[in-house]
Amino acid sequence: MPATRSRFALFAFAAIAALAAFAAPAPEKDVFEFVPEGGRTLLAKAFAGRVPAEDVRAIIGGKHTSVEWIADLRARENALPALKRLDDKQRRTLADYLATNMPLAKPPADPAKADWDKVLPLDGRDMALNYCQGCHIITVVITQDRSKTAWLGTMGKPSHVQIKLTPAQRDALANYLIVNAAIPIDQVPEELRAGGATY
């Protein structure tokens, strides 16, 4: 019966189309979005758009302690408006990052055209995501509330000495974690909550 057959064909076509739509890749959701931004991203945001070259140059050429950087960032809020939107944790994260990484070893030839996300050295978030998930999920790291000594102690354990981070990078990662770890478990995405350790 041709009528039935064509109705079947139509049904089959609709089913395939529906399946294809279902199988189409959903927009990527970044499961690590909950891990707070580090100094690289915060600084790249502060440098985005039309910002005064003298402030950019002063920052990438500056050498200060973290406490001094906090004051410096406050003083530049009008010139670099993204700095106004930093909360206390972000301001300290950025100040610690600047104390570690400035003056920039390889400043870009033309700061106005620099792709800051790529030019700037890794921050604590980058290091945690790149180096702290090989043996256990990031949750083991990012939910802990610890002192700097305790963080450095963990990284110095036999289970962690082989990780390819220099002492300076370990120090910078510890600074990031003191301020940004201790994330309550209910803010960690379900899929990262349990059963992720392979050690």
94 sits near ligand HEC (criterion: CB under 6 A): no
Binding part of the chain for ligand HEC, among 10-18, 64-72, 101-109, 149-157 by CB under 6 A, reads 149-157
Q: The tokens 């994260």 sit on which residue?
A: 93
Q: At its nearest, how many Å lie between ligand HEC and the CB of residue 162?
A: 6
Q: The tokens 């690590």 sit on which residue?
A: 32
Q: At its nearest, how many Å lie between ligand HEC and the CB of residue 35?
A: 12
Half-sphere exposure of 19 (CA within 13 A, CB side): 6
114 sits near ligand HEC (criterion: CB under 6 A): no
> Which CB sits closer to ligand HEC, 53 or 135?
135
> Which CB sits closer to ligand HEC, 59 or 141?
141
Give how far Cα 15 sits from Cα of 5, 7, 24, 182, 185, Å.
Answer: 15, 12, 14, 48, 41
Q: The tokens 């996300």 sit on which residue?
A: 117
Q: At its nearest, how many Å lie between ligand HEC and the CB of residue 172?
A: 11
Binding part of the chain for ligand HEC, among 31-39, 55-63, 76-84, 156-164 by CB under 6 A, reads 156-164
- 60 Cβ neighbours under 8 A, 6+ residues apart: 102, 103, 104, 107, 111
Q: Is 95 exposed, middle or buried (0-12, 13-18, 19+ CB in 10 A)?
A: buried
Site string for ligand HEC, 19-58 (x = CB under 6 A): ----------------------------------------
130 sits near ligand HEC (criterion: CB under 6 A): no
State how far Cα 135 lies from the chain centre.
19
- The structure tokens listed for 137 are 């999920």
Measured CA to CA, the distance from residue 191 to residue 199 in angstroms comes to 18
Q: At its nearest, how many Å lie between ligand HEC and the CB of residue 152?
A: 10
Residues that bind ligand HEC (CB under 6 A): 131-132, 134-136, 140-141, 144, 154-155, 157, 159-160, 162-163, 199
